[in-house]
Structure 1
Amino acid sequence: MSLRSCPSSLLLPRLRPSSLAVLAFTVFASPFLLLPRRSAVNPPPPPPPPSPSMAARSFVLWLHGLGDSGPANEPIRTFFTFPEFNLTKWAFPSAPHAPVSCNYGAIMPSWFDIHEIPVAAVSPKDEKGVLKAVENVHAMIDREVAAGINPENIFVCGFSQGGALTLASVLLYPKTLGGGAVFSGWVPFNSSIIERISPEARKTPILWSHGMADRTVLFEAGQAGPPFLQQAGISCEFKAYPDLGHSITPEELRSLESWIKSRLKSSS
């Protein structure tokens, strides 16, 4: 079966120009497997990383959506212009290639398996695959903690499948992190996981943003997040965006910038 004949849609944002030449991250949804689309827009170069003589004070880890790649999401850095981010280290890892059930076993970058599209609140969950992916995310976080970054200055963020992995990674990390930001994601495991969440992890705040017109990860899947987190005793700020589909907008990224800035600790 060729890629063109494979049903379903990938869960990834794309950079494209609007009629006002405003940069926006968006996804093109279709009943068929989507191949990555590149924009003709050349975003401004990202700010330089901290020099060797200036140790990073904070760390932002961004997890992409199904079928995407880490490097394709690096322009997100350009939205973070406050001086507080001058000493921020960024990481945009790429998911391993694996067969994905919702795309008839087609092999593509995927953090864990997805059984159906659209993703609903009651969709089947690949908990085993999620927990394996969480181990890899925790290893990345542990490296930064070992390098001297305060765990409360570490933020995990992700879109769609990456948002679901963000939630799982933050909730199952044994220490309090600066925060987890979920964009168009869902709860990727059942409520039985709550007993595994440590008292320290319950102090990590969650920012959840979801488009009300999302037909790839349904809004109901996003709405299921706050009650789940409330049951676990975790603070969640939920933002609903009317008329927004399966996309990331500059407004969401500016909100994320302010949200992280307000939570950065003054020292490591």
Structure 2
Amino acid sequence: MSHTLNIKTAGLPLKQAEKALIMIHGRGGSAQDILSLSQHLNVKDYAVLAPQALNHTWYPYSFITPVDQNEPWLSSALEMVGETVKAAVDGGIKPENIYFFGFSQGACLTLEFLARNAQRYGGAVAIIGGVIGDKINRENYKGDFAGTPVFLGTSNPDFHVPVERVYATANIFKEMNAEVTEKVYANFGHSINEEEMELANSIIFK
């Protein structure tokens, strides 16, 4: 089973934009759902791209189950993110002007993709997510973020994403030269809050 590239768009057409935001939806969500959040971000002059997962799920099991149990869906999902990045680049957007926003399963997928393909990007926001796998395979993560700003927001506790994995992810990104900001909200629940959107605007989309 694999995903088919199906990118929904908002904002400016790629040919008219100098920056692009790639938004990755969570389990049970949709590209249109996550695109609607862009209305609350300072991205009026961006092209906004959101790939749609087959059956609204990027991979079937928890992100902290053994990786092979989430295959071949996980590899296909990572490929879809890569194809969305390629679409932005092919549309004339430089990598340092490509931004990311992911929530929950989409945040995990975003972080895993970025850690495997580190370079200077515009910035990334990951709300309730961490790198993928029952164990962290540091050998998968190569490259240099060259100061890319990254905002990680989460709730503690969170039923799906242990806060320890968020901290471990932050440390990996720091080691790879990302400028990481972490914000942990006590007992907030599995959702996005208004302050996280404000922080995303002040740190990433400024």
Q: TM-score range by the shorter chain?
A: 0.7 to 0.9
Contact 1:114–1:125 (8 Å) recurs in 2:
no
Q: Give matches, 1:67-146, under 5 Å.
A: 67-80=28-41, 82=42, 85-97=43-55, 109-115=56-62, 123-126=64-67, 128=71, 129-146=73-90
CA distance in 1, matches of 2:13, 2:85: 20
Matched, 1:228 2:172: yes
Deviation at 1:220, TM superposition (A): 2.9
Runs of 4+ in 1 over 4 A off after TM superposition: none
Contact 1:170–1:204 (8 Å) recurs in 2:
no
RMSD over equivalenced CA pairs, Å? 2.5
TM-score by length of 2: 0.81
The one-letter amino acid paired with 1:198 is: G
Matched, 1:50 2:12: yes
TM-score by length of 1: 0.64
Select 2:95's aligned residue among 148, 151, 157.
Answer: 151
Rg comparison, structure with higher value: 1
Q: Give matches, 1:3-82, under 5 Å.
A: 49-50=11-12, 55-80=16-41, 82=42
Contact 1:164–1:185 (8 Å) recurs in 2:
yes
Identity among equivalent pairs (%): 24
Compare the two structures and name the one with the higher helix fraction: 2
CA distance in 2, matches of 1:226, 1:88: 26
Contact 1:112–1:126 (8 Å) recurs in 2:
no
Segments of structure 2 that go 5 or more residues without pairing to the other structure are 1-9
Distance 1:184 1:174, change over 3 A: closer
Tell me how many residue pairs correspond in the alignment.
193
2:132 partner SS = coil
CA distance in 2, matches of 1:259, 1:245: 23
Segments of structure 1 that go 5 or more residues without pairing to the other structure are 1-47, 98-108, 263-268
- The more displaced of 155-164 and 202-211 is 202-211
1:241 partner SS = strand
The one-letter amino acid paired with 1:124 is: T
Aligned to 2:158: 214
